[in-house]
Amino acid sequence: MSRRGMATRTRTKTHRTERRTDALSRERIIAAAIELLDSGGENALTVRALAAHLATGSGAIYWHVADKGELLAAATDAVIARAMGGIVSGAKPREAIRAVARGVFDAIDVHPWVGAQLFREPWRPAMLEIIESVGGRLQALGVPQAAQFDSASALVHYILGVAGQNAANARSHVAGMDRSTFLASVAAQWEELDPAKYPFVRQMAPQLRDHDDRAQFLAGVDLILAGIKTVR
């Protein structure tokens, strides 16, 4: 736990949020962490780099934040909350669910490290936000009580799986390649597989080469929604 977390939060009447303009704060630290993660990928976030970016020392950071894990979790929660907040909820439930899925996908597209973190620590505010956004609309869709839990679970786990895939792809991109050359190289590997052992994968190679991640992701959501409709 951060030392600040243990200290009393109560202040005397003259409570001012900022002591000076350049004061360190949990919020500034999280914002700086997001900057580092966005620009340099997952292992660009080191305590030393963070301290340098904020012109301070590691000790000061650990006063506001318990450890690196909490920092990553907080950064992820912030990104997901922002993404979920932007969803317009007026539409029909089916469209709303697609909008939520699209929102998560796009957020992870911009911040790939979020995908890895969602995966590493589910059972966190960020995931709660997603479950609620999806599940609430399932109820509105008229999915019977008994099927709601499994249906929401299927959708959320699917979203989680795609999240992981995207994060992994982004790691490959950091290593130099851009998306299309990377996919082309994987497709090339697929095409050189033994036709006797991997007939299906070989057939999929050309489609892998020039498919649209986002469209395929949404196609999967539609597939699951179609499945859910059958038990309705």
Contact between 55 and DNA by CB under 7 A: the answer reads: yes
What tokens does 114 get? 């979020």
Contact between 168 and a copy of itself by CB under 8 A: the answer reads: yes
Q: In terms of Cα–Cα distance, which of 133, 138, 19, 144 is closest to 86?
A: 133
Contact between 68 and DNA by CB under 7 A: the answer reads: yes
Contact between 73 and a copy of itself by CB under 8 A: the answer reads: no
Task: Report how many helices (DSSP H) and strands (DSSP E) the chain contains, helices first.
Answer: 12, 0
Helix (H, G, I), strand (E, B) or coil at 197: coil
Segment near a copy of itself (CB under 8 A), from 44-52, 73-81, 102-110, 216-224? 216-224
- CA 1 to the chain's CA centroid: 24
Q: How far is CA 145 from CA 44, 104, 136, 157, in A?
A: 45, 25, 12, 19
Contact between 99 and a copy of itself by CB under 8 A: the answer reads: no
The footprint of a copy of itself (CB under 8 A) covers: 116, 119-123, 128, 131-132, 135-136, 138-139, 148-154, 156-165, 168, 172, 186, 190, 193, 197-201, 203-204, 207-208, 211, 216, 219-220, 222-231
